[in-house]
Amino acid sequence: MDIARYNQKEINLLYYPREHYQTLYEASLRGEVSCINCGEQVRLYLGIQKKPYLYHTLQKETYECDAAAHARKQEKKQELVAIGTQYVEQNGFRIPKERSISEEQTFSSLWKDSQPIKSIPEFQERTEIESYSILNEENFPLDSAQYEAVTHIDGPLLILAGAGSGKTRVLTARTAYMIHERKIDAKSIMLVTFTTKAAQEMKERLQRFSTLSAKELKSLVVGTFHSIFYKMLLHHDSERWSPNSLLKYEWQMDRILKEAGAEIGIDEKEFAYDQALQQISYWKNTLTDESTIIPSSPWEDKALYLYRRYEQLKQERKLFDFDDMLYGCYELLQNNEELLQRYQNRFHYFLIDEFQDINKVQYEIMKMLSNHTNNICVVGDDDQSIYAFRGSDPSFILNFDNDYKDAAIVTLNQNYRSSHSIVTTANKVIRINKNRRAKKMKAQFHSYSLPSFFFPYDEEEEATMIVTDLKERIENGANPSDFAVLYRTHSAARAMFERLSQSHLPFIMEKDSESFYQRRIVRSMLAYLRLSLNEDDVKAMNDLIVSLFLKQSVLQDLKAISILEDCSLVQALTKLKNIHPFQQKKLQKIVPLFKTLKDASPLVAIGIIEKEMGFSDFIKKRGSEGNTMEKGSDDIRDLKVAAKKFTTVLAFISHADHMIAMNEEMKKLSKTYDNAIQLLTIHRSKGLEYKHVYVLGAVDGCLPHDYSLEAYRDGNSAPLEEERRLTYVAMTRAKESLNVSVPQTRRGRTAYPSRFIKPLF
C-alpha cells in the first residue's frame, strides 16, 4: 500500500518528497509509521527489484487495510481533480485556485525504476570450442588461442588475455609444456607475478601436472618482482640488504618522513604524509630523478623535499624499503656488466604475468635480463591497466611489438567467467577508449539476469536498497560470499558500511581501510561538535588545534590555563597569550559559538563551524585541497550527508563513535569470516570474481573521478581512459548478475549519470 500515518499525519508515497524516503524508511524501522486502518506498525520497502511500498510488520490478513488505503487514494485523486477545476478570475485570466505544485507530482516523477541494459544482441549458441590438451593432461583443456599461446615458445610473445580468458591456465600450461615437451631446463625459466598470492597459485597449479617432477618444480624460479629482485640483491650484498634493515611497514616509513617534515615545520596534522609516500614511490618506480622534478604545487614542493630527505635518512641509517628492492636491482645490473651476463647465462626464458601493470623500473630490469635471447613472454590486458598512481604504464604493453619488432601476438578473447550480457556491457564501455588494442571478448554462456542500473536518491538510500536486495537474495538461498560491493574510493563506502553494520549480515572490508569518521578533515570537524558537548575533551582539542592554525604545543598551554584559571579547555582558548593578535581576535569570536552547536541539528552545526567559526578557511589553506584525489571539502560534503538524518549533535557523535568501533571490530573479524559479503575498492577487486556484483556511485565525479574530468578539461585524456578501464574491471568481476547504482544526488548536489554508462540505459 502507499498510504500510512507518520508524525500524526497521513502520508502518501505518491506525493511524499523523494528526498525523505530514507528518513521515512528509518522511522518505519523504529515503529513510528502505522497503518491508517488498523493502527499497527508498517514498514517502508526500499529495494532494487520493486517500487517502494508500505507493508505490515506482523503476519496478518491485510485485505481490509489494503482496501482502506485504496479508497483513501481514490479520495485523494478526486480532491486533486476538484482543486484542479477551481479557478479565479484575475485581470481577465482564469487561474487555478490553491493549486500546489507538490500535489501535482506523480509517482513516476518521484521514483525511477531500475533499468536493464538496452540493445543486448541475442546470445548465439556457439559450436563447441575445439579443445586441445598438452602432455596428455585431459584436466587442462585449452581453446585454440590458448593452445597457440602455450606452444609458441621461441622469441618475444605478447599474450593479450582479456578478462576471464584463463591467463593463469595458459601461463602454467606453457611452463609445463616448456619443461616436459621442449626439454627446457627448469632452472633457466623465470616466471614473474605481481602478487605473492598469484605466485603461490602458479606453483599450486604446476603441481597438478603429473608429468612435472618435484625436482623440476623446485628449481623453477617463480615469484613476484620484489621477491626475485631482492634475492638477487641479498645474494650479492647480504650486509647492505639484510632483512633486519627493511622498512616492512608503512608506519616505519611514515615515521621517517614525519621526522624529515618536522625539520622544516610540516605538522603531521596539516599535511597528507600518506599521499607523499605514494608520490615518492611513484617517482622512484618511474625512474624519475629528483633533479628533474619541477613541483607543480606547494604540496608537491614539500613532497619533493621529503623525497630527498627521506632517501638521505635511509642511507645514513642503512635502511631500505620495498621500492629500493626494485631500484637497487636496476642499479646493480646497470652498473655491473659482468653480473648481468652471469644472470643472462642462467636465465633464457622469461614469463611475466599482469604485464599491463608493469612500471618503468620493472620493465627496464626485465629488458636487461632478457635482451640476450629475447625469449620473453608477457601476459596482460591493456583494458585492465588501473595502477597509474603507482607508476604502472599501459604504454609498455601497447608498444611491446615496437620494442620487439619480431614479436608474435596471440589474443585470448573467450571470456569463461561472465555471462553474455555482462561481457557485452563491458565491451560497450571499454571500446570507447582510443589508447587500446582492439579486441572484443565473447562469452561462453547466457544468463537471464541482465545488467541493471538503479537510481537511488542519494548515498544513504543507495546503501539501503543494496542491503534490501542482499537480504532478499540470501533468504532465497544465495551465499553471502557470492556478493561483492565495489566502490571507487574508501570514502564512498561509508553509508554501505553503516547499513551493513546494522543489518546483521556477515561482511568484511579491506584490512587497511580506516573509518570515515577518522579521516583527517572529518576528525577535525567532529572535534568542534565533541567540544560543544564536553569542553574539556583533550583528544578533541588536540584534533581541533590544527584547524585554528595553532601549533600543537598550544595544547599544553591550554591544559595549564584551564588549571590555573579554573576554566574549561574551550574557555582557555580566549586566554592564550603567545599568539598573534588576529588569532586572539578570532578565538574571542568563535569560543562563544561552541555553546550554540550542541543545541543545533548536526547539519546546522556543521554550517556554523564552516562559515562562522572559520573551518572553510582551514580547508582552503591547510586542508588537502591541493591533493588531486582526495579533497577536504569533499569529506565535509560526505559528512553532511551522514549528519542530515540526525536531530541532535549527541546522537550524531554517538553514531560516529559506534562506527569507529565497528570498523576496528571488523578488522579483527575479517580473518574469521569465510562466507561473507565483500566490500572493497575496484582496485582491490582486480583478479577476483563474484557471482553477483554491485557497483556504487556511477556518476560523473565519482566514476569517473573528479580529478580525471579536470585533467580531461585541461587536454589530458589519459586519466579519463584509466577511469573507463576501472569501470570495465568492476563490471567484469561479475559472473551472473551486475547492478550499477546511479544516484540522483551525490554529496548533497545533483549528480549526473557517468558518461561511461549513460548510453547503456
Number of structural domains, the chain? 5
Asked if the structure places residue 550 within a domain, the reply is yes
User: Same domain, yes or no, for 649 and 523?
Assistant: yes
What is the rounded distance in angstroms from the CA atom of residue 210 to the CA atom of residue 522?
57
The pLDDT of residue 90 is: 57
Q: CA geometry: angle at 542 spanning 537 and 544, to 5°? A: 90
Q: In the chain, what is the straight-line distance between the N-terminal and C-terminal CA atoms, in Å?
A: 29
pLDDT score at 108:
42
What is the mean pLDDT, run by run of 10 residues, along the chain of 761 residues?
90 88 92 90 93 86 77 68 54 53 48 88 72 70 91 94 92 91 92 89 86 86 93 91 91 90 79 85 90 85 91 93 93 93 94 94 95 94 90 90 93 94 95 92 90 94 96 94 94 91 88 82 93 94 87 88 90 88 88 92 93 86 54 84 92 93 80 84 92 96 92 92 96 96 92 93 84
Task: Please give the pLDDT value at position 580.
Answer: 83
Residues 170 and 201 in one domain: yes
Q: Do 753 and 745 meet the contact criterion of CB atoms below 8 Å apart?
A: no
Last residue of a domain, one of 64, 93, 111: 111
3-state secondary structure 143-167: CHHHHHHHHCCCCCEEEEECCCCCH
Residue 269 CB contacts under 8 Å (≥ 6 apart), including other chains: 520, 524, 543, 545, 546, 552
Do 288 and 331 belong together in one domain?
A: no
The answer as to whether 135 is a domain residue is no
Tell which of 54, 86, 111 closes a domain: 111
Q: Kindly list the distances between the CA atom of residue 575 and the CA atoms of 367, 406, 737, in Å, as whole numbers in the listed order.
A: 66, 77, 62
Looking at the structure, tell me whether residues 538 and 645 fall in a common domain: yes
**Chain-centre distance for alpha carbon 377:** 31
Quick one: 90 and 46 in the same domain? yes
Is 330 in the same domain as 185?
yes
Indicate if 577 and 709 belong to the same structural domain: no
Co-location of 569 and 682 in the same domain: no
Q: Quick one: pLDDT at residue 103?
A: 43
Please check whether residues 457 and 592 belong to one and the same domain: no
What is the reported pLDDT for 231?
93
Domain identity same for 647 and 744: no
The total of other beta-carbon atoms located within 10 Å of residue 760's CB is 21
Residue 83 lies in a domain: yes
Q: Angle at the Cα of 387 (from 267 to 735), degrees rounded to 5?
A: 125
Same domain, 565 and 702: no
pLDDT at 626: 46
Give DSSP secondary structure letters for 691-742: EEEEE---BTBBTTBHHHHHHHHTT--HHHHHHHHHHHHHHTTEEEEEEEE-
Domain boundary among 319, 348, 363: 319
Q: Which of 27, 28, 4, 26 is nearest to 16 (CA)?
A: 4
Q: In angstroms, rounded to a whole number, what is the distance separating the alpha carbons of residues 52 and 468?
A: 11
- Residue 127 domain-assigned (yes or no): no
For the chain, give the number of residues. Answer: 761
CATH number, domain with residue 199 = 3.40.50.300
* Distance from C-alpha of 34 to C-alpha of 388, rounded to nearest angstrom: 53
Question: Any idea what DSSP says for residue 371?
Answer: T
Its domain, for residue 609, covers: 517-654
pLDDT at 130: 67
CA distance linking residue 642 with residue 199, whole number of Å? 42
Q: Are 398 and 437 in contact (CB under 8 A)?
A: yes
pLDDT in tens, 213-246: 888 888 899 999 999 999 999 998 989 999 999 9
pTM given for the model:
0.87
Within the chain, how many helices (H) and strands (E) appear?
A: 33, 24
Selection from 143, 142, 140, 145 nearest residue 205 by Cα: 140
Q: Would 662 be classed as within a structural domain?
A: no
Q: Is residue 603 part of a domain?
A: yes
Question: How far apart (Å, rounded) are the C-alpha atoms in residues 737 and 691?
Answer: 7
184, 313: one domain: no
DSSP 632-701: HHHHHHHHHHHHTT-SSHHHHHHHHHHHHHHHHHHHHHTTT-SS-EEEEEHHHHTT--EEEEEE---BTB
Cell numbers placing 77:
485523486
In a domain, 580, yes or no: yes
Per-residue model confidence (pLDDT) at position 139: 67
Domain presence at residue 468: yes
